[in-house]
Amino acid sequence: MKVLLDENLAHRLRTKLGPHEVFTVTYKGWTGLNNGELLRTAEENGIEIFLTGDQTLTYEQNLTGRRIAIVALSSVEWDILKHHLPLIIAALHNAQPGTFQEVDCGTFTRKK
């Protein structure tokens, strides 16, 4: 599947997602597009899944009739995400067009 990695996620995640063909927003030259425009552009370019750390997309975007799936991660921190790669890959594998799913990877809190 063709996956687009949002700007808010670590680029090193791109090489850890198994058999999926993963592109970054930056690599595609789509930096700065608003979410609606980004999803439309991604769909027009054959992207099947948008992987993001923006959990508000489910409230901002109507996915009815969309060909793209959105998978949102609960953290954008590489030190957390690297421990949840199997969960993330499973979510990508199970993603269906026009759906939104959230992957709970925990959150990062600093010690006081």
**pTM confidence score:** 0.92
Measure Cα distances from 98 to 37, 61, 80, 111 in Å. Answer: 16, 10, 27, 39
pLDDT per position as a tens digit, 20-35: 999 999 999 999 999 9
pLDDT per position as a tens digit, 59-83: 888 888 999 999 999 999 999 999 9
Q: Does the pLDDT value for residue 110 go beyond 80?
A: no
88 within domain boundaries: yes
Residue 67 burial (C-beta neighbours within 10 Å; 0-12, 13-18, 19+):
middle
**Considering Cα of 45, then 95, then 73, then 60, what sign does the dihedral take?**
positive
110 within domain boundaries: no
Q: Does the pLDDT value for residue 36 go beyond 70?
A: yes
109 within domain boundaries: no
How far apart CA 77 and CA 86 sit, in angstroms, is 16
* Count: domains in the chain: 1
Q: Does the pLDDT value for residue 11 go beyond 70?
A: yes
Domain that holds residue 14: 2-103
